[in-house]
Amino acid sequence: MAAKDLYEKDFYAILGVDKKADAATIKKEYRKKAREFHPDKTKGDKTLEERFKAVSEAYDILSDDKKRAEYDQARSLFQQGGIPGAGYAGDFNAGGFGDLGDIFGNLFGANQRRGPRRGQDLQANATISFRESIAGTTLSFSTQSGPVTARVPAGITDGARIRVKGKGVLGEAGAGDLFITVNVQGHPIFSRRDDNLLITLPVTFTEAALGGDVNVPTLSGEEVTLRLPAGSANGKTLRVKGRGVVRKEGTAGDLLVTIEITVPQRIDGKAKAALEDYAAATKGADPRVDFIKTARS
């Protein structure tokens, strides 16, 4: 495909986004349309397959800041008649537009080369569990080039892309590549911040007040014992070293445990009497005195 054929296309219209759309909006619309027109769903419908290819092509340009800037510049010149084929009769360096050859060379690369061309790249989406994103997993796809197996590395993040060489469309000079966008599902207990895993652990009032050992679940399935200091406040975060995401060099992040003091919905009998005795014993220890003074200052 010639460069002219590409800069004549309105990639923003193809994705259905405004020219000022941010990266998040472009990514969201691409995912929506990629799911809608994916070959696995269109069942051989050639028209929808072409839509899928067009959406993938548009995202490839607009998701890359450098390519997007060069595309915007090239298309603007095309619309002003500053590019051959759009009513301009000079060479690429005339009219004060700069070296358009460099722009097209950077933006379209191999699309301008003559002779046999490599096949088109393919785009795919895969959804994996939170646990699989931390431990790694293997994906299986069926593409135009046949069955594909792709290894998802441990510690991959939501929205990351995996490149599988030579598994795109077969062309005269070889097959293109398959690019897989990985979507990571959330977990009901664990979350992630960089290489650390996070968990909120419910504890009783007496455990927080008196301290003691509590069991904490880990993503691997086993439990570790954590020493809770006496007088731990609600929201206090404790660290379990080496129980986070394993890095490439073999080290690991930490498990950050935030305690949440639970309050019973109903208290009767001895428990209620004991709390009343505690309230009487600590009468006068109002935790809101300084708080109210500050509010009035």
Q: How confident is the model at residue 107 (pLDDT cuts 50, 70, 90)?
A: low
**What's the pLDDT tens digit per position in 193-231?**
999 999 999 999 999 999 999 999 999 889 999 999 999
Domain contains 286: no
The structural domain count of the chain equals: 3
pLDDT band at 172 (very low <50, low <70, confident <90, very high): confident
- 217 found inside a domain: yes
Last residue of a domain, one of 135, 165, 186: 186
Instruction: Please count the helices (runs of H) and the strands (runs of E) in the chain.
Output: 11, 13
Contact, 14 vs 30, CB < 8 A? no
Give the mean pLDDT of 129-150.
88
| Distance separating alpha carbons of residues 16 and 55, to the nearest angstrom | 10
Note whether 177 and 211 are same-domain residues. no
Q: 122: which strand partners?
A: 178
Which DSSP string do the residues of 132-200 spell out, in sequence order? HHHH-EEEEEEETTEEEEEEEPTT--TT-EEEETT-S-EETTEE--EEEEEEEPP-SS-EEETTEEEEE
Please check whether residues 163 and 246 belong to one and the same domain.
no
Report the alpha-carbon distance of residue 219 to residue 130 in Å, rounded.
10
Between 34-38, 58-62, 185-189, 214-218, the lowest mean confidence (pLDDT) is in 34-38
Nearest Cα to Cα of residue 155 among 178, 179, 180, 128: 128
Question: Are 179 and 85 found together in one domain?
Answer: no
> Would residue 47 count as lying in a domain?
yes
Pair (171, 204) in one structural domain? no
273 in helix, strand or coil? helix
Domain range for 131? 115-186
Same domain, yes or no, for 12 and 44? yes
Same domain, 154 and 200: no
Q: Are residues 27 and 2 in the same domain?
A: yes
- 12: tokens are 């923003």
Q: Is residue 288 part of a domain?
A: no
Same domain assignment for residues 7 and 105: yes
Residue of 241, 246, 270 whose CA lies nearest to 256: 241
For the residues 281-294, what does the mean pLDDT come to?
Answer: 80
Q: Which two tokens stand for residue 108?
A: 């379209």
- CATH code: domain of residue 232: 2.60.260.20
> Do 76 and 122 belong together in one domain?
no
**Do residues 178 and 243 share a domain?**
no
Residue 269 lies in a domain: yes
Indicate if 110 and 148 belong to the same structural domain: no
Q: Is the pTM of this model over 0.75?
A: no
What's 81's domain CATH number? 1.10.287.110
Is 215 exposed, middle or buried (CB count within 10 Å of its CB: 0-12, 13-18, 19+)? Answer: exposed
Query: Looking at per-residue confidence, does 196 or 110 come out higher?
Result: 196
pLDDT in tens, 46-92: 888 888 888 888 898 899 888 888 888 877 766 665 444 443 333 33
Same domain for 3 and 97, yes or no, is yes
Domain boundary among 114, 140, 170: 114
* Alpha-carbon span 29 to 16, nearest angstrom: 7
